[in-house]
Amino acid sequence: AAGSFPPPAGRGPSRGPAMDLFGDLRRMNKRQLYYQVLNFAMIVSSALMIWKGLIVITGSESPIVVVLSGSMEPAFHRGDLLFLTNFHDDPIRAGEIVVFKVEGRDIPIVHRVIKIHEKENGNIKFLTKGDNNEVDDRGLYKEGQNWLEKKDVVGRARGFLPYVGMVTIIMNDYPKFKYALLAVMGAYVLLKRES
């Protein structure tokens, strides 16, 4: 007589990924859960330390930015990732691409310096314009402001990666996608088991 083997251990009938996720959470003991939460915290703190390190090394408050509009085409396209530095000893020159903040606007602007006014005491005022724009940026500056100063500069473009920042644009345009992506990444880190 042939012996019968027990059916292979499984999860029973096929369930959706959400049910599997909650099942994994229930089976995880407290020590594993604490370990995974600490692992997630280490990943987040490591990313923050790398970001702060880049700020110190580059001298820019935002060492990496994403181009959000087509105003600098053909030099930069929407979604390009820019690497910035902002060393205050380097003089700003016409033709240089700068990222600047204007009072009253939350998002920095990436445009080219087209005119410089340098005084004898070393103070510099300059005017910017997008390569793809018809007119200069005076309409973007705060009311009554005709020139930018060095204090307005967040950084100067030193390099770029084309279209890598499209993920950021998609997350800004579709907030639900951003939260879904964050939830999936968090669940993956929490539920990932060491092999």
Residue of 60, 71, 80, 152 marked active site: 71
Rounded distance between C-alpha atoms, residue 168 and residue 172, angstroms: 6
- Specify the DSSP class assigned to residue 144: T
CB-CB neighbours of 153 under 10 Å: 22
**CA distances (Å), origin 48, targets 29, 55, 118, 166:** 29, 11, 38, 22
Residue of 69, 80, 90, 111 marked active site: 111
Which token pair is 93? Answer: 């020159």
Which element (helix H / strand E) includes 55? helix 30-58
Using alpha carbons only, what angle is made at residue 151 by residues 147 and 154, rounded to the nearest 5 degrees?
100
Residue of 14, 60, 117, 137 marked active site: 137
| Direct distance between the N- and C-terminal alpha carbons of the chain, in angstroms, rounded to an integer | 40
Is residue 71 flagged as an active site residue? yes
Catalytic residues: 71, 111, 137
